[in-house]
Structure formats: structure tokens, C-alpha cells
Amino acid sequence: MSKNILVLPGDGIGPEIIAEAVKVLDAIQQTSSLNLRLEYGVLGGSAYDAEGSPYPESTQSQAKGADAVLLGSVGGPQWDNLDRPLRPERGLLGIRKDMGLFANLRPAILYEELADASTLKPEVVAGLDILIVRELTGGIYFGQPRGIETLANGEKRGYNTMEYTESEIIRIGKVAFETAQKRGKKLCSVDKYNVLEVTEMWRNIMDELSKDYPDVELSHMLVDNAAMQLVLDPKQFDVIVTTNMFGDILSDQASMLTGSIGMLPSASMNESKQGLYEPSHGSAPDIAGKGIANPLATILSAAMMLRYSLDAADQAARIEAAVKAVLSAGLRTADIMQEGMSRVSTSEMGDAVVKAMK
Ligand code: IPM
Ligand code: MG
């Protein structure tokens, strides 16, 4: 059976890193029974330039027919002054909401070979392997009412709403518990229940759900403490589940524990396992077009796509092993360069991964 993959290179370094992930998918296509059909589309600033919208209708209908979406990155300074609905970020939020991608999995793994890339002491981060499960289509990002208004006295007032329904919390909770079952069987739910009612409800629902997962050890942590614990003793965590905005913040923090955000993939899925896969890093406009960006996070995102949306865990493992092999062989892009290693370009790194897969 063939699988349809929508490829959205996006902005900045997006097209360069996507080209390397596509090389890897081509290699899988040639050496396995998988039949992958790649179709290209636009998202973000480049979509605005081409079609006047960061998430145009053409992309919306392509997304509906796809089994999975592979995204490079969106955004860049040239689009920062557009009206809010036209900015690249709106394209990303739009496709997440439109596809119902409520479950965002963001791993933070420290590769042995890159142990000294972290700014934390090696003993604090060695062997780090955390997975953040971030709710992605609700909470304060999408809550109504929202806006900026002018009061009678002429003063402006800005407001957003943090809201969750029970069912939204239950479905992300289930993903988190099930993910924890397949890993270290520890789940930490992060909230601010001492101040925010909506997250008091979140905590109660997680407690209720935990009865169905007796093999998973559930704990709770306030978000401010979680930020502190992530730096103090990150290895205490296995899986973290949290709201959209807390997850946005904590996942950036967790990724930097590894010192190499250029290595970290992410997955965003809906109930029918349709998913969008993208590197955790941004579009890095400052280095776009120079051929020095690290394609490994995007290549590893393609691996997550094979595992979670395309039922091809064996091929995902093949890619992940190849990435480890090129790191062990000493190949490094500029962002992860270390003394004594061989510096390679974006495309040399992609070629090396393809070669290591053979
Ligand atoms: C992320 C990004 C996005 C978010 C932005 C670009 C809208 O920071 O994927 O974490 O806040 O979700
Ligand atoms: Mg973010």
C-alpha cells in the first residue's frame, strides 16, 4: 500500500534540511517494501509570498489527503511586520489546529557522542532521555475570548483565555500514559494548580486516568518547580505531560539540556495517527542558504514519521542507527563541531546518513 507524505520545506534553512531528509526517504523507498509518495507544498512565509497566505487552501487540501506531513521550519524577519493573521507562525498554528494535531511529542535525548555540548555538567546530563508530551491544539494558544481592546478611559487592555475541556485533557493524558508505558513507566504531569483552576481540573483528571494505568507511576509538579528541577536534576524525568504554553516553554528548556537542538525531532499527532513531523529548532534565517545547517533533527523527524504514522518502526530504527553511526564516525555539522572531529556540510551529513543505512 502506498503512503502519501506531504513535504513542506518552509522558510530559512527549511528547504536545505528537508532535502537531506528526502534523500533518506528515497533510500528507504529503494531498499524496503514501503511505497512512499512524496508531494510538495508550501507553508509559512514562503507560502505567503507565493499565495498570499501562510496556510493557503492548496496546502489545506494536500494535508487532508496525506498520511503524514514532513515540515522543515517556518519564519523569518522579512515577515515579522505583516498583520498577525498573515505571519508564518499562523501557518504553523493553522495546520496544527486544522489537522487536529493535539499530541506533540518532543524528545530531549543526549547523544553520548555529544555529551560535552551541554552547558550543564556531564554527570547531570549523561544518558538524559526525556519525552515531553505537550497538548498542542488547546489552552491559552486558542482560548476565547482573546484580543486587545480600548477601554472607555482610552487605556488599552490585552487578554487571552486559558481553557481546557475534560475531553481535551483526557485524550492528551491517555497519549502520555500510553507513551510512558512504552518507556520508563514514569509520568510527571506539570500544572499550576495552586493558582489556575483550569490546571486544578487538569491535575484531578490525570489522577483519575492513572487508575487505568496501574503500571505507570504518576507524579505532579508545579510548572515553576518543573523549570527548576529540569536544570537541577533532569534525569529524574521520564515522560512529562503538560499544557500547550507550559509545554512550549519547558520543551525549549529541555532541548537545551542536550546542548544541541539541531539534533532533536518532534511529532504532532491526531486521533487517527495522522501526524506532522518537524525538527524542534527554528528556521535559523541567519545561516540559511550557507549549506551549514544540521539536517539530523529533520532526518530524525522522518524516522519518527515512519514509526508513528507509517507503521514502519523497523525503518525508523534503521535511520536512528545510521545517525548514531555517523556521529560515532566523527562527522559534525558546525553547530555540534568538537575538537578532533570532521566538519561536514548539510548535504555531506545527509549523504553520510544514507551511506550508513546500507
Ligand atoms: C513551537 C514554536 C511555536 C509555538 C511558534 C512558532 C508558534 O515556538 O513549535 O514551539 O509556540 O508553538
Ligand atoms: Mg516553542
Q: pLDDT (tens digit, 9 = 90+) per residue, 167-178?
A: 999 999 999 999
Tell me, what's the pLDDT at 59? 98
* Domains contained in the chain, CATH given: 1-110+260-358 (3.40.718.10), 129-256 (3.40.718.10)
SS3 percent helix, strand, coil of the chain, rounded to 5, is 50, 20, 30
- DSSP letter string over 172-238? HHHHHHHHHHTTTSEEEEEE-TTT-HHHHHHHHHHHHHHTT-TTSEEEEEEHHHHHHHHHH-GGG-S
Catalytic (active site) residue 212: no
Report the residue among 89, 105, 142 best suited for mutation to probe ligand 1: largest number of ligand atoms under 8 A from its CB: 89
pLDDT digits (tens, 9 = 90+) for 106-158: 999 999 888 888 889 989 999 999 999 999 999 999 999 999 999 999 999 99
Q: How far is the CA of 342 from the centre of ligand 1 (A)?
A: 33
Radius of gyration of the chain (CA): 20
Q: Which residue is catalytic, options 192, 213, 238, 277?
A: 192
Helix, strand or coil, per DSSP, at residue 108: strand
- For ligand 1, atom 1, which residue shows the shortest CA distance? 248
- For ligand 1, atom 4, which residue shows the shortest CA distance? 248
Ligand minimally distant from the alpha carbon of residue 279: 1
Tell me, what's the pLDDT at 322? 98
Catalytic (active site) residue 192: yes
Catalytic (active site) residue 141: yes
Residues 217, 206: contact at Cβ < 8 Å? Answer: no
Residue type, 140: I
* Mean pLDDT, residues 66-95: 96
Cβ of residue 89 lying under 6 Å from some atom of ligand 1 = yes
- DSSP letter string over 256-286? HHTT-GGG-EEEEE-TTS-EEEEESS---GG
Catalytic (active site) residue 233: no
Nearest atom in ligand 1 to 88's CA:
6
Q: Which residue is catalytic, options 207, 224, 233, 286?
A: 224
Angle between helices 296-308 and 313-328 (to 10 degrees): 160
Q: How far is the CA of 148 from the centre of ligand 1 (A)?
A: 21
Nearest atom in ligand 1 to 75's CA:
6
Helix, strand or coil, per DSSP, at residue 141: helix
Q: How far apart are CA 122 and CA 153, in angstroms?
A: 56
- For ligand 1, atom 2, which residue shows the shortest CA distance? 248
Catalytic (active site) residue 224: yes
pLDDT mean across residues, the chain: 96
When pLDDT is cut at 50, 70 and 90, the band that residue 334 belongs to is very high
Q: Phi/psi at 137 (nearest 5 deg)?
A: -120, 15
Q: Is the pLDDT of residue 105 over 90?
A: yes
Cβ of residue 92 lying under 6 Å from some atom of ligand 1 = yes
Q: How far apart are CA 330 and CA 113, in angstroms?
A: 9
Ligand minimally distant from the alpha carbon of residue 253: 2
Q: Which residues surround ligand 2, an ion (CB under 5 A)?
A: 248
Q: Is the pLDDT of residue 1 over 80?
A: no
pTM greater than 0.75: yes
Ligand minimally distant from the alpha carbon of residue 101: 1
Q: How far apart are CA 213 and CA 231, in angstroms?
A: 28
Nearest atom in ligand 1 to 92's CA:
7
- For ligand 1, atom 6, which residue shows the shortest CA distance? 89
Q: Phi/psi at 176 (nearest 5 deg)?
A: -65, -45
- For ligand 1, atom 8, which residue shows the shortest CA distance? 248
Q: How far is the CA of 216 from the centre of ligand 1 (A)?
A: 29
Q: Which residue is catalytic, options 191, 248, 308, 335?
A: 248
* β-bridge mates for residue 2, sequence order: 35
Residues 285, 11: contact at Cβ < 8 Å? Answer: yes
Cell 546518513 maps to which residue? Answer: 353
Cβ of residue 248 lying under 6 Å from some atom of ligand 1 = yes
Residue type, 107: P
Cβ of residue 93 lying under 6 Å from some atom of ligand 1 = yes
When pLDDT is cut at 50, 70 and 90, the band that residue 260 belongs to is confident
Residue type, 318: R
pLDDT digits (tens, 9 = 90+) for 270-308: 999 999 999 999 999 999 999 999 999 999 999 999 999
pLDDT digits (tens, 9 = 90+) for 205-235: 999 999 999 999 999 999 999 999 999 999 9
Q: Is the pLDDT of residue 50 over 90?
A: yes
Helix, strand or coil, per DSSP, at residue 29: helix
